[in-house]
Amino acid sequence: MIKEKQAGSDEAAATEKHHMFKYGLLVCLSSGILNSLLNLAFLFGTPIADTARNYLSDGAVAPLLHDFIEMKVHVYNPVQPNVPGSDPQELKKKYGDAISFFGGIDQQGLLPNGDVNEIRAEINRRCQILGANGGYLLAPAHIIQADVAPETVKLMIEAAKEYAVH
């Protein structure tokens, strides 16, 4: 069931501090019409079903994950660990049995500025936390920016292979 909008919550745009759209729009979309269309597309195996079940939004949308799960979204993409409400450990604990996670590696600070040990440690943490019992695809929290060296991308891939939870 969609929870009622909290008093004082009037977020309208995707930011790193607030929801990506007004809460009322989510209630409207999840009222049954969109969910019914997605279920129908999923049953018939249409290409839109795969895309629609992978919820794509950076920013502080983690407080809406319960509602996305009710809409049968399968993957939350991307986990952006440096925004309010997106602590990977809390996300996995609260929602890990109901939704899979994509992302989780800070592409704004860590990848362009972190040293080898910091990057390896962060990838290890994400694999151990979000990868526990499956349901995690390690990736940057968004696109890899131009200020990330190719060597860093290679390091990220090698560390992911080393620390992956199977």
pTM of the complete model: 0.73
Please check whether residue 67 is in contact with residue 34, taking contact to mean a CB–CB distance below 8 angstroms.
Answer: no
How many angstroms separate the CA atoms of 48 and 45, rounded?
8
* 140 three-class SS: strand
**DSSP state for residue 104 in the 8-state scheme:** E
Confidence of residue 68 (pLDDT cuts 50, 70, 90): confident
Give the pLDDT score at 59.
Answer: 75
Asked whether 91 and 69 are in contact (CB, 8 A), the reply is: no
Q: In the chain, where are the structural domains located?
A: 23-163
89: tokens are 């450990």
pLDDT tens-digit readout, 94-140: 999 999 999 999 999 999 999 999 999 999 999 999 999 999 999 99
CATH number for the region 23-163 comes to: 3.20.20.210
Per-residue pLDDT at 106: 94
pLDDT tens-place string over residues 6-29? 333 333 324 555 555 555 555 555
The average pLDDT across 70-83 equals: 84
Confidence band, pLDDT 50/70/90 cuts, at residue 74: confident
Give the span between the Cα atoms of 80 and 103, in whole angstroms: 7
pLDDT in tens, 23-44: 555 555 554 555 666 666 666 6
Q: What is the pLDDT of residue 9?
A: 37
